[in-house]
Amino acid sequence: MKKMIYSVAVAMMFLLPTLALSQGYINWPATEDTIIVPANSVLNVFIGQDTAGTGPQGAAGVTAWRNRTRVYVLLAGQKYAWAAVCSLNAASRSLYIRGENGKDYTVPSTVSSVHMPVLRSITSTLTTAWFVLNAADQVFAMKNVCWTAYDEFLNPAHLQNATGTFVTCGVNARASVYFDNCILTAGLTILNYSGRNTSSTTTEGKTVRFQNCIIGDNGSLQRSNLGAGRMIDLRAVGVDTLDMTNNTLFNVIDRVIRLLGAQKPIFSVKFNHNTVQNCISYHGLISLGWIDSLGNGPFEIKNNLFMDPYALGMDTDQARQQEFTDNPDLDINGLPACSWFIAKKNSTTHVTPWVVSNNYYNISDSGKAIRDYETGVGLHHVVYPSTAPERIITSDMARQIDANGGSSANAFKKISLKFVNATQFPSKMCRWYFSPLGRGYVPTTLAIDSCKGAGEGKIKYATAPMPNFILLPQFNQPSNQYNQFPYDMRRVTVDSIMEWMDFSYDANWNLAAGATDGKIVGDPRWKFVDLGLTTTAVNSSSQIPGRFALEQNYPNPFNPTTQINYEIPASSFVTLRIVNILGQTVQTLVSEKQEAGSHPVTFDASRLASGVYFYQLTAGNFNATRKMVLMK
């Protein structure tokens, strides 16, 4: 790979105060005191010396640090190390780290591109966090940098000791955290707000923004349990602004965002233009707690693309469901139901519309196989097979979306989808989870594709590394050094991400300009390509149905929501209405002309009394009626 060569004169330019080149999503200092960090440096040591006045610039380092103007510049194509916790304990101190400003990362890289600098942990002991913010009004910002929580280059076995959290905000921190154009991999948590303010009206976080990032391989059963592997963990803290825009997210064991049992709100939420693939979602996908408690912040989930975002499906594991208590809906066992998105409207005077629209998803054949996986025990696959409707949003969310003029039934559309070069579905880990505790891995057979009897029995709190997630001698070979743990997900090195990964895609809907802003749906850095799928928009189906059909609602009986699916083979004016046992219409769900395809509709009966109801479909000359039971 070619390397860019910089003269001494150009390098010296970074040592002088300069005007910030671009604000973008990061509030860089208006005037920067930049310093180049030499290649192969241990960054935490370099920062410690600089801020103590013993670094290359002597006392000037202390001054820049106190003035909040210091920016650490990492050289393109070079590798850096990290070995200890870096704590920011002084009020108003901020930490800015930027990859060499010559070229923003464009995916996928070409052989003439210069890689972003790579920052990796070299410690062989367990580290809880890299950066800790402990005081008020601090800023952490990083751009154009790759970070990996273990030394994937020299010692992949250190995955067993991977750093727990990249950035932690402590009890007294009211911090803003920005990531722009970064690659972040292998952390148990990328960002953790662990503050515990007792006030129910204030938040500890100011702004959390992830823009143009690739984040994946989160969580490690070599290091922790199934509940680890989050991207953002807000606990009960909350923030003013939470913004995730133009990101690609893959291989997440737990959640993308966690805010459970919130005592404080998120005032502004944007989850837009993200591509999400292979989220195992042990405790769900995105839990947002209270939203817009003062009614003055936007709530948006739009233009996102999902592939297998809920790989474990709607499993009834009680340990898993402890984290779904914000969901008012119950499953067949009377426990909080699993749902991709969970959010609660906290203000009775909320005036800002919830915009949840223009999102697309697909469950791959591998994903369907996991939902149908037979273990011989339990009810999981009897109750929630791959044919069951996905629980994407809660009934509370559906009511709020519809009340604001949106359409909860059409907020997420199912499509056929194929990526150019994405990651492998984590079938082995999912099968291991569903398998009962048994003999485990048998090293003499090398039968790692068969997990039956190898699982942990869904035990979340087993001591790490969990059985079957320990290093095995036969895998400690260069030819297989990145897949040494037989039931782990297929991890990807940061070099592979820059050189090989390509989430450009084809779909049976033409989504090249399908976003609300005219861009491609999902992360806009990728392209819409021809991979052999039909690109005619046929509305929620991989092919046009050959007949009219009205399916039985699911679940049935239900409380308070259920899904109704129907198919129309040609463009037709469609009416779908709910009637009581007297034949009176109590609600009209659809009354419009629709294109051919399969159409899902969510019916919310929270305002109706328990009893027997009927749903009637009229489309062209086709009429059909089915019975359903509302049981409160």
The string of pLDDT tens digits covering residues 177-196 is 999 999 999 888 898 886 55
pLDDT at 586 over 60: yes
pTM of this prediction exceeds 0.85: no
pLDDT for the residue 486: 72
Give the start-end residues of each E strand in 387-451: 412-414, 417-421
Return the percentage of the chain with pLDDT > 70, whole number.
81
pLDDT tops 50 at residue 23: no
Using CA atoms, how far apart are residues 625 and 404, in angstroms rounded to an integer? 30
What pLDDT score does 437 carry? 64
Kindly state the average pLDDT of the residues 405-412.
88
Model pLDDT, residue 71: 93
- Indicate the SS3 state at residue 513: coil
Q: Compute CA distances 442 → 449, 451, 574, whole Å.
A: 11, 10, 57
Rounded distance, CA 336 to CA 595, Å? Answer: 35
The amino acid at residue 283 is: H
**Predicted pLDDT of residue 3:** 28
Residue 601 has pLDDT above 50, yes or no: yes
| Mean per-residue pLDDT over the chain, rounded | 80
Q: Enumerate the CATH 2.60.40.2550 domain ranges in the chain, comma separated.
A: 549-630
Most confident option among 109-113, 289-293, 519-523, 558-562 = 519-523
Between CA 370 and CA 367 the distance in angstroms is 5
CATH architecture of the domain formed by 549-630? Sandwich (2.60)
Among 276-285, 421-430, 463-472, 534-543, which range has the highest average pLDDT?
276-285
Token pair for 327: 């969901």
Closest C-alpha to 267, from 343, 153, 158: 343
Q: Which residue has the tokens 């070995």?
A: 83
- Reply yes or no on whether the pLDDT at 435 is more than 90: no
On the CB side of 140, CA atoms within 13 Å amount to 27
Distances (CA, A) of 350 to 237, 262, 267, 291, 509: 21, 18, 11, 10, 35
- Sorting pLDDT into bands at 50, 70 and 90, what band is 101? low
Q: Which of 26-30, 71-75, 572-576 has the lowest mean pLDDT?
A: 26-30
